[in-house]
Structure 1
C-alpha cells in the first residue's frame, strides 16, 4: 500500500510550519523519509540542497524528534550526555538544553520515572543538543499540560522568529497549530491537499464574512450593495456581509453617515478549514452516534516522497 505520492513542499527559515493530516495521511512517513530512515521509490528531501545522509554533522544541522526513546534507568542528564559523546558535542550541552526545556530540577531523576510531558521535553532537549538550524518535530505537544503547551508555543516561535531557525511541526492539535504556526501544510491520503499561511488558506476556502450591527441596517444594506458588497443576511439590526472587509464596511458606513454599534470579521478557523479540506480522507471512520454506518474509510496512497527543502 502506498503511503506518500508526489508530495512536494518547502519549509522556510524564520517560520513555524505546521504539518497536518488525518491518521494514515503519510505525515510520519514523510518525516522519516526526510531524515533518511525510509528510502522512497522516487524523489528526495534536502536541507539547503543536501540530503540528510550527506550532512557532515547532522545533529548540528537538523534536530529531530519522531519518537522519544531513552533507557529508563538513565537519568535525564546522562541520557543527553550519551548523545553528546556519540555526536562529539561538548558534555556541557546536556545541562544547557535541560535548562532550555525546563528540566533542570529533574535532571538527576531516572527518565523511566518521567511523566509523558517530561519525556516530550527530554526529546526536545535531545533535538536541541547540536544547536541545529532546523527542527523537525512529530507531535511535540502530546502529554503536555496547558501550561506546557503554552510554553512550547512561545519556545518554538522564539526559535523561528527571534533566532531565524526552520521549524516543522506535525500535530493533531489544530487550535494550537493555529496559534503557533506561520504556515500550514495539509496532506491527505499521501498527497498534498493545501499549503500556505492562514490568510491564504482562508482565502482559498472562500472563508470570511463581516458582521455588522446598526440601527440603520436597511439603509446600510443598500449602501453596501451599491458598493458591490454582498449582503448575505439581514435580520433586524444585524447584517452579514460577504465580499468586503471590516475596513470596507466601516468606510462605506462613515461616508453614508450610518451609525454603527458593532463591526467585526467572522473568519473560519483552522479546524473548520482542515475538516473541509480533508473530508473523506480519514484512515478510520467511526459510525454515527445513533449507531448507523459512518463514511467509507479512505485508502491512503503513494510511493514517491518529494519532501520540502528547509
Structure 2
C-alpha cells in the first residue's frame, strides 16, 4: 500500500508564462509563448519532440535565461523566490550517486536546503520507497529512480510541482498510483501541478487542463472540455435506429449537417437533447443516441500535425506486414 498523505501546503501559487522566447543560434526554440497554470489543478504540458517543452521548463526554473518574456510564480521569477525549494519542487531528469542509498541521497538535499533530516523518511513513505530507503540508488529500477526523484522534489513541501515525464519506467500499478497522487496534491491540497508527458492516454485520465505547444508556439490552452469543444468531433451526435434514413431527411430539412452510413447518422453541430427532442416530435424510434467526443490523442494530432521536428513517412501496408 502506497501512501499519498502529505502535509498541507501554504498559499496557492499561480504560474504565469508571458511572451517567453528563446533562440539557439538560428533555431527558434520558443517563440512568444504564454500560458497559465492554476492552483488546485493538474495541467498537462504537451507537444511533439522539439516543440520547446524542455526549454520552457528550464526557463521557468531559472536554469536558462530567456531572450524575452517572463515566467513567474505569483508574480516572482524563480531566481527571486526567497525559499525556492519550499515554493517549487521540480523533476526534469533523474541523477543519483549510484553508491548512495535513497535515504542518504535525500538527507544530502535536506542538509543543503536546511530541512530537517526527518523529511527524508517522510517523503520516502509518500512515494512508496520506505522499504527501499537503505538500498543503493544504483540498484534501483527506472521506476524506483522516478519515485526517488519525485521524493526529492517533495522535500520542501512545495506549493508547485513541475514534472517532466514522471511516469517513465513506472509499471501499471505505479502509473495508477502517480495519477491518484498528482490529483490528490492538486485537488485535495490546492497545489499547482504541471506535468509534461507523451503518454496521452494517461494524461487524459489525470489532467484538468492542457497546454499544447508546437514549434515553440502555443497551439491550444484550456480545460479538457474546452479542448474538445474546439475539436472536429465536438458538437457531434451519433444516432442509430430502424428508420434513420427518414430521420436524416427530417434533420436535413431543419438545416442540420447529417452524414448517413451503415444505419448510423452522424449529426454535426447539435446535442443529444436537440436530436432526441426532434426524434420524439417526429415519432422516430431510436436505439442509440449519444455524443461523439474526441479523445485527447485524436485532438492532439489534429492540433500538432505539421509541427513535428522529425516526421517519418508512414510505412506502406507491405512494409508494415513484413
- Relative to the length of structure 1, the TM-score reads 0.89
Alignment of 1:191 with 2:191, yes or no, is: no
Match of 1:49 in 2: 75
Deviation at 1:201, TM superposition (A): 1.6
1 CA distance for matches of 2:284 and 2:271? 17
Partner residue of 2:55?
29
Question: Aligned pairs, how many?
Answer: 290
Alignment of 1:54-65 (within 5 A): 54-65=80-91
Relative to total residues, which structure has the larger strand share, 1 or 2? 2
The CA deviation at 1:227 is 4.4
Offset of 1:234 from its aligned partner? 4.5
For the pair 1:263 / 2:303, whether they are aligned, the reply is: no
Distance 1:264 1:149 in 2: 30
Secondary structure of the residue aligned to 1:224 is: helix
- Following superposition of structure 1 onto structure 2, how do residues 138-217 of structure 1 map, counting pairs within 5 Å? 138-208=164-234, 209-217=236-244
> What secondary structure does 2:213 align onto?
strand
Residue 254 of structure 1 pairs with residue 280 of structure 2: yes
The aligned residue for residue 127 of structure 2 is 101
Q: 1:259 to 1:164 in 2, by over 3 A?
A: same
Identify the match of residue 252 of structure 2 among 198, 207, 225: 225
Deviation at 1:157, TM superposition (A): 0.8
SS of 2:66 mapped into structure 1: coil
Choose 125-134 or 260-269, whichever is displaced more: 260-269
TM-score by length of 2: 0.86
The 5 A counterparts of 1:131-142 are 131-142=157-168
Over residues 136-175 of structure 1, what are the superposed CA-to-partner deviations in whole Å (9 max), with x where a residue is unaligned? 0001011111111111111111111111110000001111
**Displacement after TM superposition at 1:228 (Å):** 4.1
**1:13 alignment partner, one of 39, 45, 51:** 39
- Aligned-pair CA distance for 1:13: 0.5
RMSD: 1.6
Whose RCO is larger (CA < 8 A, sep 6+)? 1
Gapped regions of structure 1 (runs ≥ 5): 292-310
